[in-house]
Structure 1
Amino acid sequence: MTSPSQPSFAVFVSSTDSYSDCWEPFFILFADYWPDYKGTIYLNTETKDFKFPGLNIICTQVARFAGTNTIVSGKRIKLALQHVVKEEVILYLNEDIFLHDRVRSDVMNELVACMHDHNLLYIGVTDHANHGPFRPSPYPLLWEIDSSDPYVFSAMPSLWNVKRMGRYFRAHEDPWQTEYYIARRIRKANDKTYTIDRTQFDYPAHAILPFAPTTGVYRGTWVADVVVDLFAQHGIRVDYSQRGFFDPAVSYPPPFRPLWRKAVSVVRSMI
């Protein structure tokens, strides 16, 4: 039974079958640095299943709802929120967010309680994401994100109200479109979003969810500064040659899409 000091929420790990090489490192570090989390973890996949000792992982396997294994990111998330996730509040993470220190469960529980008590839409739980400007909020741990911030919504670690946030997703959008257009929709609806008070929870000294300021995978390649030493410290073995390492001197063009498809996608996002 959930106690009053541990309000109900689930962890939602946004992923895809092609990133399954991230799952074991992710959950090794999750188990090490958040050992007191005992709730449900939804791992968003198309078809694959995955288990890890001591963790209650439910793979969403959303291809069974889509009728195809080729599912764009926005649709994967939307299907999972509609058909699989049962909780009212989730902590959204990507599979390449690799923890490197203990999670502050006490503060996380306070933030979740605030979500429940005040029916909040979104709380950014890291200072790596929302850019500001910010202003004081009625809630002691939070700042309100000003509507002029292009990232009133960010797909970095954050708490979501599942039903309210699900309405902002569009099934055709890729990760970059999702982040950009959800922020536009939230501003248009005059909905409020919040982030942690940066004076109380600055990285790295007081981070609630400690992970490197960048993700462990960028443009499909490993970020050496994030993963190599961390994985070695934990005895995590990875064949880095499969992805290679990110090189800032190299251009990584996005997947090719015909111009007409891009135009149609933009129009659909703006409707």
Structure 2
Amino acid sequence: MAPDYQSLKSKTTDALRQVIRHGDYSRHTAGLGDGMLQANVVIMPAIQALDFMRFCQRNPKPCPLIAVSDTGNPIMSTAGKDIDIRTDVPAYYIYRGGLLSEEVTDVSDLWTDDMVAFALGCSFTFEHALLAAGIDVWHITNNTTVPMYKTAIPTVPAGPFSGSLVVSMRMIPKDRVEEAKAITRKFPLAHGAPVHVGDPAEIGISDLSKPDWGDPAPELDNHVPVFWACGVTPQASIQNAKLPICITHKPGHMLVTDIPNDAEVPIINLPNSK
């Protein structure tokens, strides 16, 4: 029997990745891997990789780089023990010509010797700190995927990569917004402090009940919507770049790394890593 979400909360990151690798869990990873960085994933042919790295460097808030694979090597040893980027994400999106063509749970048959994988920090990382402070995170409490929205805020283009900032949203009690800002500011590798608080229309979001990715969250009394830069931003840029093929995580379905969430430098050295 496949493990349920609650049972996975107590697993180590390595054990969690093994469950995912064997195809036994393909849902969201919010609330899992306590204390460790979670990561967005982007995989593309090496010929486009430098331009994409430039895009990340120019847009560090939504695209905080925490790991880059060697060309053709799917083992991302700087991010964790035996991480295989082809299998260790619960669900992947496949883009062809900028269009989403399919969703899969294993990309081994699509990996080629000229591919490069990128891991970008994710805001799921700081949610444990919010919970520890007694700030409820609705989508974790209710086992749903955080809502994500395209905004009218432009990113800085690089090569073929361009587009608008994507944000994730959490409803925060009005009297704890400053505290939430202070908590999340301590996690620069996971998008850090929010980019906007309050009226979503000010950043080009017309309807909170209709997220572009994830599940809608209710607007709660005495709460205010708070928006953080989101690592789904590259997926919007990939659509504009129209690459022949590009692989990403499915939004909300992240790579759970072995990098501590408070790491100053997002690299681990494993003597026995391949």
The question of a shared fold, defined as TM-score above 0.5 by the shorter chain, is answered with no
Q: Which of 1 and 2 has greater Rg?
A: 1
User: Higher relative contact order by CA 8 Å / sep ≥ 6: 1 or 2?
Assistant: 2
Q: Could you tell me the TM-score, scaled by structure 2's length?
A: 0.29
Richer in helix (by share):
1
Richer in strand (by share):
2
